[in-house]
């Protein structure tokens, strides 16, 4: 699951949380920004970044339409992260259907389970 060289040219050790499925929301410093949530697996943690393989879900507050980006490895700065939520370990995040619920939070349905957000 290693993605290669770390931010300063050295290989980072695997994260103790590597492989955990999480939902991460980060802060955008400007008012017109969309809300962005990444759902996927932790690859690595460095002092500066949470590295995860996942999909980014983008939407605007008050709007229930969502855009789903393709799966990628992303390096998210810890200082920009607002919330990290551990998801069920058996969640098939690649196949789950995500949506914005009535409360404006990202929820999912997998056919047998629904998460209220």
Strands (E), the chain: 21-26, 35-45, 49-59, 67-68, 72-77, 81-86, 97-100, 106-109, 114-115
Of the ranges 3-17, 64-78, 90-104, which one carries the lowest mean pLDDT score?
A: 3-17
Give the rounded percent of residues in the chain with a pLDDT score beyond 70: 77
**Annotated domain spans of the chain:** 21-115
Distance, in Å, from the CA atom of 104 to the CA atom of 13, rounded to the nearest integer, reads 36
Give the chain's mean pLDDT.
79
Distance, in Å, from the CA atom of 26 to the CA atom of 48, rounded to the nearest integer, reads 14
- Residue 45, pLDDT above cutoff 60: yes
User: For the chain, where are the alpha helices, taking DSSP H only?
Assistant: none
pLDDT digits (tens, 9 = 90+) for 47-94: 999 999 999 988 877 777 788 889 999 999 999 999 999 999 888 999
């Amino acid at each position: 699951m290693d993605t290669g060289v770390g931010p300063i040219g050295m290989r980072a050790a695997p994260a103790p949380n590597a492989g955990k499925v999480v939902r991460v929301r980060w802060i955008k410093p400007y008012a017109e920004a969309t809300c962005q949530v990444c759902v996927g697996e932790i690859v690595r943690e460095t002092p500066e970044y949470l590295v995860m393989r996942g999909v980014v879900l983008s939407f605007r507050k008050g709007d229930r339409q969502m855009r789903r980006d393709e799966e990628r490895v992303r390096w998210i700065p810890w200082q920009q992260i607002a919330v990290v939520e551990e998801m069920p370990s058996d969640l098939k995040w690649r196949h789950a259907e995500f949506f914005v619920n009535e409360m404006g939070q990202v929820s999912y349905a997998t056919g047998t389970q629904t998460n209220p957000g």
